Amino acid sequence: MNEEDQKNCSQLLEEIRSEMKLVRAELEHLRMLNEQRLKSIEKICEDHETRLRDVTAGVTQFRFWSSVTSGGSTAMSLLAVLKSFLN
Reported confidence tier of residue 75, pLDDT bands at 50, 70, 90: confident
- Per-residue pLDDT at 60: 85
**How much is the average pLDDT of 7-22?**
95
Q: How many Å apart are CA 6 and CA 57, to the nearest integer? A: 76
- Per-residue pLDDT at 76: 73
pTM, to two decimals: 0.56
Reported confidence tier of residue 29, pLDDT bands at 50, 70, 90: very high
User: pLDDT tens, 50-70?
Assistant: 989 988 888 888 887 777 677
Q: How many Å apart are CA 23 and CA 43, to the nearest integer? A: 30
